[in-house]
Amino acid sequence: MKFACLTAGLVAVVATSAHASIRITEVMSSSNGLGSPTPDWIEVTNYGSSAISLAGWRIDDGSFNFAVSAALNGITSIGAGESVIFIESAAGAGIAGFRNHWGGLAGLQVGYYSGSGLGFSSGGDGACLFDSTNAILSQVNFGAATSGSSFFYGWTSAGTLDSTYNGVVSTVGSIGTQIGFSSTGDTGSLGTAIGVPAPGALALLGLAGLAGRRSR
């Protein structure tokens, strides 16, 4: 019975903190593409220790307004430690071309969104994720873009932006341990993020915390 209670408590801890482990880790607001720009896109990373469902999740730009947000489509869940991409594309029609532009992106999930007024401004904007209850999961602001370069975001273990990486326009190999690459005029780091814990790490921390509380 004690083990069952402990297990139930751990599940509750993981469930409550699950959405808090979602971070926006990269944004492209001004693709260059040597005359054939690819869509605006956003990278989302799960820093948690278990997969998270995206049912009912939505995206907005710098207005951070759920009422005018758009649904995220094409990806049902993000695995522990996984980074995924969402592009601005009606019905996902641009996904194949986007993958081709970036060299295929094998093994990387690419979803989509579309809606009136949702394009990221190259002169400065923001991005915001909502869950199905209208709660903000993660949001970032960015200034004027360098054409063909993405904004890359690092996060601390406390869930705050890491000033070492916050809003840095990415260039190949210049941001910590991130794996950047260029593709026909664009530079980014799709599918990688800084400081993602090993799968299971947060669950073990949660278990340790519960054990500590029981011993007092």
Q: Indicate which CATH number applies to the domain containing 95.
A: 2.60.40
Q: Is residue 113 part of a domain?
A: yes
Question: Where does the pLDDT of residue 61 fall: very low under 50, low under 70, confident under 90, or very high at 90 and above?
Answer: very high
Residue 184 lies in a domain: yes
157 domain-assigned: yes
Kindly state whether residue 107 falls inside one of the protein's structural domains.
Answer: yes
In a domain, 58, yes or no: yes
Evaluate whether residue 155 is within a structural domain: yes
Q: Which domain covers residue 82, as residue numbers?
A: 22-197
CA dihedral 172, 144, 192, 16 (to 10 degrees): 160
At residue 7, the pLDDT reads: 33
Q: What was the pLDDT predicted at 213?
A: 40
- What is the C-alpha separation between 26 and 127, in angstroms, rounded? 10
What value does the mean pLDDT of the chain take? Answer: 82
Q: Does residue 17 fall inside a structural domain?
A: no
For the entire predicted model, the pTM comes to 0.83
Work out how many domains the chain is built from and give that number: 1
Distance, in Å, from the CA atom of 156 to the CA atom of 97, rounded to the nearest integer, reads 34
For the stretch 5-43, pLDDT in tens is 333 333 333 334 456 799 999 999 999 877 677 899 999
Identify whether 91 is part of a domain: yes
Question: Which of 92, 61, 60 has its CA nearest to residue 75?
Answer: 92
> Stretch 113-136: mean pLDDT, rounded?
93
Q: Look up residue 48 and give its two tokens.
A: 């948690």
The strands making up 22-28's β-sheet, listed across from edge to edge, are 110-113, 83-88, 41-46, 22-28, 151-152, 168-169
